[in-house]
Amino acid sequence: MNFKFLSVLAGLLLPVVANGAMPHVGFYQTIDDETKSPKSIVALYEYTDGDDVELAGRIIALYGTDGAVSETLSNPVRVADSVSGAPKMVGLDIIWNMEWDADDSRYEDGKIMDPKSGKIYSSLMWQETPGVLNVRGKIGPFGRTQYWNVMSVSDLPLDLQNLDMSKWAPKVIK
């Protein structure tokens, strides 16, 4: 009898949970594949695209060679030369159209851009280890996975600790 009650309760609560914030919305430290040093901070945020709620990612800070944050949204310097229009790297949306697949517990069907080359790839995101997000860019079956570290708001530079991402939508530059 308790099992039936729990089943009914789960059936009633599941839609409420499904309509909450998307998993993995927040801040992530990316790591350079070659140097293994911190490279950037990316904010993953949700936005509405028609009737769908999707996930996007924007670079909000860059690290310098000394390992400290050298640029934020309030002082962008470096330019993404290979991206159309040569925008600043900080403020650049590098992930968009990611859709949550609850069956596989991952985001899929989205795009990710390498801001150095300007190339755009299909993308998947999932979490296997607490505190680490797997981010994969791929063409067909071939690709590369990066491991992004979860950051708390208190880990961010002061000028980024009160970001309001609620009205953000990706500005995709192709």
Domain count, the chain: 1
**Quick check: is 5 in a domain?**
no
CA distance 174 to 167: 22
**Quick check: is 56 in a domain?**
yes
Sign of CA dihedral 161, 158, 75, 121: negative
**Quick check: is 13 in a domain?**
no
What is the domain range of residue 57?
Answer: 23-155
Nearby residues of 64 by Cβ (< 8 Å), 6 or more positions away: 70
**Quick check: is 39 in a domain?**
yes
**Quick check: is 36 in a domain?**
yes
Position 165: which residue type? M
- The residue whose two tokens read 């470096």 is 78
**Quick check: is 16 in a domain?**
no
CA distance 73 to 156: 12
**Quick check: is 169 in a domain?**
no
**What does the pLDDT profile of the chain (174 residues) look like in tens digits?**
444 433 433 343 333 334 445 689 999 999 998 899 999 999 999 999 889 999 999 999 999 999 999 999 999 999 999 999 999 999 999 999 999 999 999 999 999 999 999 999 999 999 999 999 999 999 988 999 999 999 999 999 999 999 999 999 999 876
Measured in whole angstroms, the distance separating CA 129 from the mean position of its chain's CA atoms is 16
CA distances from 32 to 9, 29, 35, 41, 173 (A): 45, 10, 6, 12, 23
**Quick check: is 65 in a domain?**
yes
80: CATH = 2.40.128.520
